[in-house]
Amino acid sequence: MSWCILCHSKMQEQVTWGMLLGTDPDPVACSPCLEKMTKITGPVCAKCGRPMDSASLCTDCVSWNEREEGILKENRSIYSYTATVKEVMNRFKFRGDAEIIRLFEQDIRTAAKKIPRKAVLVPIPLSAERLQERGFNQAELIAGCIRRPIVQPFNRLTSEKQSKKSRKERLAGAPLFTLNPEATVKNLCIVIIDDIYTTGNTVYQAAKLLKKAGAQDISSLTLIRG
């Protein structure tokens, strides 16, 4: 007998052949909770993975294409940002419940099947203060569920440096990180990993630095499409 990681109720889940054979992990949440974790299925924006009525480009991506053509191949995300997903993410990030990663693991592995064999993963870094506060970087935990090499070519600028910037500067996309001068990303196929894609600013900033340093093929995978 086990307990649901989300609602803490006792779970009486059906044992599947996959679970007996060890190919499917034991479920960590009950079915009603899992159903509330809305996965993105059906047509999405060809570029950013936002759910759409048809697989065309969303208006945000049309504008990104005008500014940053050829930087990011595509973003794909696993879940929609529903109230339940938001609550789960708050627990994961702001209450520092690293165990929650187990809830996402299977869906991350399924999504990762589309990642090229030769790809390396670049998790978006946290600032040192955030990392100390939280004890883990959620993007690294997500990347850790995928069987590909992980590289960290970025240094995150401190939020102190960030907050000295005016709101206008921040909205204009003031730099979030710098590329470590020793990092070698030349000709690499890279998948940037983050927890959420909202405006695209973080992912595009990262992609732009990687491209400048000679990375070949850059896309991103995030848990959530905000």
In angstroms, give the least distance from the CB of 15 to Zn ion: 18
Which phi and psi angles does 35 have, rounded to 5°? -65, -30
In angstroms, give the least distance from the CB of 73 to Zn ion: 13
Q: Are 98 and 128 in contact (CB under 8 A)?
A: no
Q: Which is nearer to Zn ion, 45 or 215 (CB)?
A: 45
Q: Which is nearer to Zn ion, 6 or 142 (CB)?
A: 6
Cβ-based neighbours of 181, under 8 Å, separated by 6 or more: none
Sole residue written with tokens 């627990």? 91
In angstroms, give the least distance from the CB of 188 to Zn ion: 24
Q: Cα separation of 123 and 137, whole Å? A: 9
In angstroms, give the least distance from the CB of 14 to Zn ion: 15
Provide the binding-site residues for Zn ion, judged by CB under 5 A.
4, 6-7, 30, 33, 45, 47-48, 50, 58, 61
Q: Which is nearer to Zn ion, 30 or 206 (CB)?
A: 30
Cβ-based neighbours of 118, under 8 Å, separated by 6 or more: 189
Which phi and psi angles does 123 have, rounded to 5°? -75, 140
Q: Which is nearer to Zn ion, 69 or 160 (CB)?
A: 69
